[in-house]
Chains A and B, each alone.
Chain A
Amino acid sequence: DAGVIQSPRHEVTEMGQEVTLRCKPISGHNSLFWYRQTMMRGLELLIYFNNNVPIDDSGMPEDRFSAKMPNASFSTLKIQPSEPRDSAVYFCASSLEGAYNEQFFGPGTRLTVL
């Protein structure tokens, strides 16, 4: 299995532009998580889905952030408009549903907003 796939790996954009991050979970996994990592705040959960349905989006910073999971093999995290404070590494992870299952992380997308 290829593991969790994220694209792009690096993204540099200008303030005000729309940014879309993509994630393909491991086949058969039915939970998907979006995390953000910064030096100041460490790792934080933004949103997670079970069976393509958003379960907890309390970590989404504001309305500029949105996430979708149209099917079991694809999810997007969109930032519109982007701001310099959104610069971070964004990780996607997947697992089988339930608290007792290991999460597998993708390689991350390093986002820089100028």
Chain B
Amino acid sequence: KNEVEQSPQNLTAQEGEFITINCSYSVGISALHWLQQHPGGGIVSLFMLSSGKKKHGRLIATINIQEKHSSLHITASHPRDSAVYICAVSIMEYGNKLVFGAGTILRVKS
């Protein structure tokens, strides 16, 4: 079993819809990261969380440490949000080493 599980694997939405991507992990972590990767492009860090909630523009990330679960929300989705969203965790015993989920492929249609 992977230490980091994401769902769904694939997601298609209509422009304007509210989107949620989920991430569950099975180990003690220092921090959780949400990353974005556009087709053929590089990887951008969206959020790093160790507790609570963070917001940046139309993106919101939450984490529940007790339940070992995080969600990434996109409000008023737009075709330019189409990308792969990757959840990664820093495991407590491993310092700043990241362990990655498999990613969620998001397509937003206009």
A binding-site residues for B, Cβ under 8 Å: 31, 33, 42-45, 48, 50, 55-56, 91, 93, 95, 97-108
Contacts and interface: CB of A to CB of B under 8 A. Distances in A.
Contacts, number: 63
- Most chain A beta-carbon neighbours within 10 Å: one of B35, B88, B90, B98: B98
B30 interface: yes
Interface of B: 30-31, 33, 35, 41-45, 48, 50, 86, 88, 90, 92, 94-103
A45 B31 CA distance: 16
B45 to A, nearest CB: 5
Given A42-B100, A43-B86, A105 B95 contact: no
26 contacts: A31-B96, A33-B96, A33-B97, A42-B86, A43-B86, A43-B100, A45-B98, A48-B96, A48-B97, A50-B95, A50-B96, A55-B95, A56-B94, A56-B95, A91-B43, A98-B96, A99-B92, A99-B95, A100-B31, A101-B48, A102-B33, A103-B33, A104-B45, A106-B42, A107-B42, A108-B43
Q: Is the interface of B mostly helix, strand, loop or mixed?
A: strand
Nearest to B98: A45
B41 to A, nearest CB: 8
Given A104-B45, A105-B43, A105-B44, A42 B97 contact: no
Contact of A56 (B45, B88, B97, B103): B97
B100 A99 contact: no
